[in-house]
Structure 1
Amino acid sequence: MKFIKNTYIFGIGALILGAITSCSDDFLEVEPKGKFLTNNYYENEEQAYTGLIATYDRLQKNTGGFDNLVAMMNSGSDDHFAGGGNASDGQGLQDFSSYNMNSVSMPQSYWSDHYQGIFRANILLLQLPDVPMDASLISRFSAEAKALRALYYFNLVRMFKNIPLITEPIDQAEIFNIPQANPADVYALIETDLLGAIAVLPETITSASETGRLTKGGAQALLGKVYLYIGKNALAAAQFAEVNGTPGEVNQYGNKLLDNFDDLWGVSNKFNSESIIEVPHTNESLTGWDNWGQGSDEGNSYNQMVGPRTYSKLSDSAPDFAAGWSFNPITQDLYDFIKDDPRFNATVFDMKALKDAGDADYIAGYQDTGYFLRKFMPTNADKSTLAGNTELNYRQNSYIIRLADTYLMEAEALGATGTRAQALLDAVRARVGLPSVPVSMDAVMDERRLELVGEGHRWFDLVRTGRAATVLADRGFVAGTHEIFPIPFKEFENTIIEQNPNYN
């Protein structure tokens, strides 16, 4: 099947609108034909569909490419270090991990890749009304574009706070003079887009060819998360209640917690019942070093990043993992926190114990602890046998939102009090065989840490709840500065964009 790629490249200082190319993927099938200019781009339904799939493409920022969201957000949390080969390996990750961030080392792609998605959504929304196609399809495509635009803006405003708000295509002459918006206005657009999408999106996906497209429940879960992040807890709880239904049971959209926590990380268990918004990856995109991270690769790069360096299996009792690059090693603090939890074995790979037993070996990387993130560990069985570089073509999908996450976010939105909050917390714990504990904010935050290790949520949780300055003090986190990133240098060079406070 085909996942469509558009060659939009966006920084506030550069915008290139170009041709469509295609690469192999395992969802959303479409064959592009020819090249379409922006001013007459969508002449029929097929062309509009290619534009929609191109808008979905930027979701792969989650775990695709070296500068992926999960690797970055894990690096700055108390659960992981940046790791890698040395103190300058992935400078952006290193500087975030030690809170020495600056505009030069801040990777531009965390800004530009999200704006690529926004620009694609803006073009699609502008041109869809004039496409000769069924009105119901126009409505659905528009709803998906709005929900995607909302997600991209949510990531941007959480990371950088002070960002331009762009809702329609812009001329080349204008791109240097776009001011930053009030964050409240960005959140207002996100809310409006998601409410509009929720009213239109289908409740379920029934066709295999549409697997991975957004649903009403996905947009509701995202809106609940947005509300939670900006302190509109009652509204957040209402959205999450629509998604979660009765804790522990199948919800109105067919979602249910998987019976076995370990099954969440089965590489073939894609788009399972617990998945709400999921990013697809494939081992068939033929990615090589010449096109890695350039928009045409579709493998899960994070798998390669987290594996132990030069891993070698020495006995049958050792897992058949592939060698990786040792990024995001797990901290001793997290190890001590999770070591007695039933989720430990599915979450943490104790390389130290395996090496001590003589069953496997590796070369310690930078900030090595001997503990690695098993959820995304690369395996030899999963290596691509096609052309391209095998280490760049892992096929494991990644979750942006899953049901256990929404259970715990609803419990938080309810103030971590009351019968329903207790039931939501209990359901997450019961799935792994843990008894009930009295619901409280500390209990909910602890459960989020245990349940969601390595999925890119922990840093945002600490910032959102005001705990980052305390928890991350020994890493160099400074309140009033490090809640947001520095704007990459190229984005304010020769523009009217101003750097975020304390990063000048």
Structure 2
Amino acid sequence: MLRTIKIAVLGLAALATMQACTKDDVLELEPEFTLEGLQSPANIDQVEQVLLGAYARFRDANYYGSGSGTGGGWSMMPDVMSDNLYETRSTLANSRTMADWTYNQNTGQVSSFYSVPYAVIANANLVLRDIDKYTTTANQGRANRLKGQALAIRAQAHFDLFRYFAINYDRNGTTPAVAYVEEFVLPSPNAVQPPRMTNKDFYDNLFADLGQAATLLADVDQPINPAGALTRPYIDLAGVYAIQARTNLYAGQWAEAATAATNAINLRPLVNGVTNPAAFAGMYNETNAGEIIWNVQFESGQSGPTFLTYFATNRRSYFRPAPEVADTLGTTGLIRNNDVRYTAYFSPISDNNSRGLAITKYRGKGANVSDGNANFPVLRTGEMYLIRSEALARSGQAGPAMQDLNTLRANRIAGYVAENLSGQALLDAIANERRRELIAEGHRFFDLKRTTRTIQRGQVCGTDLSPSGDCTLEPTAREWALPIPETVVRANASQQQNPGY
């Protein structure tokens, strides 16, 4: 942990120069302050710049961004590590350790996945440390806007860590989660070494932050995301509701998950991709805001989420959708050519004399741009329908759950005929719909971890089409929880290692 905090502090000067938004968005950041100034903001303007720095850190190549065949920790890596994608013969093998579940406490990507969210948290904590100093009656709405976003960012980054490094997601469990860091701490020999909390304590802190964020963001001085803009790069009230829905689903708090999802849906209606396919596809190429609740913004020169799986500039595909998900003709698999998601998500390509389907939803901005510079939709309304449907199904309300599932499908699949399912058949249908709706959006590995805890890769695994190693991850495997990096355990004696490492 000390190592993580030190990295965050030393990076403040650099992220003061980063821009988390476009000129048409809420703020334009032109910092003229030193590292010392950003560690000790002198006014509310500087506090706001630190907040923008937190958003900028979400673009890291190991968070929602990606490198060439690597990174993408919370964008595409959860699909690479699951049964949604398979490694191709065009691979660079940069992420084979993660894809084949052979990682350990000294794996570089594991260390990065641990440190990067804590760097985001450090910025959020700096905002929360100083915002009250510069809050007055006259600027209370602005202070609420900054503080609410910082609390939401802190909750989101902690939850992302929890998804990888917690042993399980039990709401009141006593197994170790991750440290929930609520103070900005400068590196020193006497700095606090936070221990891993239990799941219960972790969730208590998480839900407290989100509850306070929702209260603050209901009373702000101006819209956080401009009305009519093509992007929504900041977490507003709808974003907090969406994070509440997702976290409550993991916690198994069905009523709370359904309520939060409804709140988010009411603020961001579902897009009908059947009647308006451009609005649906536009979420991925920045031609339409569609149903985005919150996206991480990547501007020119800031890369994007695609390069872990698909190198857009030379049409080279490192990981492709499993045939069980989709095929090149769109006639088999979960996503077919009568589904708006097929053309929005995939393209048939040929590389190394091998023709197949590639994940091209992040190939660039604009209908014909293929430079890989695209935004990442962290939260959107389609997921909220699926969260509410699952929460209702698991609480015995099959009828309303089926209604949500039918509504989502009718807005995605041409000629869809409503179904009537219940029990395990309904839960299986919701799980399959999550694979359709959310492929390459950072969910599948975590969905399997929170439900079946089993990965069984399909027909391509173990053949000459893919160099993949093991095709099955058993429910008891240690790899469901990433190891705490060795450097962290050595620096912080209170950081308990996960079992089996």
TM-score range, shorter chain: 0.7 to 0.9
Q: 1:233 to 1:217 in 2, by over 3 A?
A: same
Structure 2 counterpart of 1:476: 472
Q: Using the alignment, how far apart are the partners of 2:142 and 2:432 within structure 1? A: 43
1:155-174 mapped onto 2 (5 Å cutoff):
155-161=160-166, 162-172=177-187, 173-174=189-190
The question of whether the paired residues in 2 share the 8 Å contact of 1:262 and 1:346 is answered with no
Q: Using the alignment, how far apart are the partners of 1:499 and 1:369 within structure 2? A: 43
Of residues 21, 29, 48 in structure 1, which corresponds to 2:16?
Answer: 21
Structure 1 counterpart of 2:380: 402
**Across the two proteins, how many residue pairs are aligned to each other?**
439
1:127 and 2:127 aligned: no
1:226 and 2:224 aligned: no
- Deviation per CA, 1:148-206: give whole Å up to 9, x if none: 00000000011112322211022422458332222322221110000111112148646
Q: Using the alignment, how far apart are the partners of 2:87 and 2:486 within structure 1? A: 22
Letter in 2 for 1:397: N
Structure 1 counterpart of 2:498: 500
Q: 1:141 to 1:84 in 2, by over 3 A?
A: farther
1:333 and 2:324 aligned: yes
Of residues 204, 212, 226 in structure 2, which corresponds to 1:196?
Answer: 212
- Deviation per CA, 1:237-286: give whole Å up to 9, x if none: 12112222xxxxxx3x2533244356433355366141112111111x4x
1:65 to partner: Cα distance: 3.2
1:138 to partner: Cα distance: 1.5
Q: 1:304 to 1:470 in 2, by over 3 A?
A: closer
Q: Using the alignment, how far apart are the partners of 1:84 and 1:262 within structure 2? A: 33
The question of whether the paired residues in 1 share the 8 Å contact of 2:242 and 2:261 is answered with yes
Q: What is the root-mean-square deviation of aligned Cα atoms in Å?
A: 3.0
Runs of 5+ unmatched residues, structure 1: 1-8, 245-250, 286-297, 309-320, 352-360, 384-390
Structure 2 counterpart of 1:346: 344
Letter in 1 for 2:99: S
Q: 1:444 to 1:70 in 2, by over 3 A?
A: same
Of residues 272, 276, 279 in structure 1, which corresponds to 2:293?
Answer: 276
1:499 to partner: Cα distance: 2.0
Structure 2 counterpart of 1:436: 418
The question of whether the paired residues in 2 share the 8 Å contact of 1:305 and 1:326 is answered with no
Single out whichever of 472-481 and 439-448 deviates more from structure 2.
Answer: 472-481
| TM-score, normalised with respect to structure 1 | 0.79
Letter in 2 for 1:94: R
Structure 2 counterpart of 1:207: 226
Letter in 2 for 1:323: N
Q: Using the alignment, how far apart are the partners of 1:11 and 1:206 within structure 2? A: 30
Q: Using the alignment, how far apart are the partners of 1:498 and 1:85 within structure 2? A: 39
Structure 2 counterpart of 1:63: 64
1:450 and 2:436 aligned: yes
Q: 1:326 to 1:44 in 2, by over 3 A?
A: same
Q: Using the alignment, how far apart are the partners of 1:141 and 1:206 within structure 2? A: 13
The question of whether the paired residues in 2 share the 8 Å contact of 1:414 and 1:421 is answered with yes
The question of whether the paired residues in 2 share the 8 Å contact of 1:10 and 1:115 is answered with no
Q: Using the alignment, how far apart are the partners of 2:446 and 2:235 within structure 1? A: 23
Structure 2 counterpart of 1:312: none
Runs of 5+ unmatched residues, structure 2: 167-176, 327-331, 462-469
SS of structure 2 residue aligned to 1:329: strand
Q: Using the alignment, how far apart are the partners of 1:271 and 1:187 within structure 2? A: 35
Q: 1:271 to 1:59 in 2, by over 3 A?
A: farther
Q: 1:157 to 1:199 in 2, by over 3 A?
A: same
Q: 1:40 to 1:154 in 2, by over 3 A?
A: closer
Percent of residue pairs identical:
22
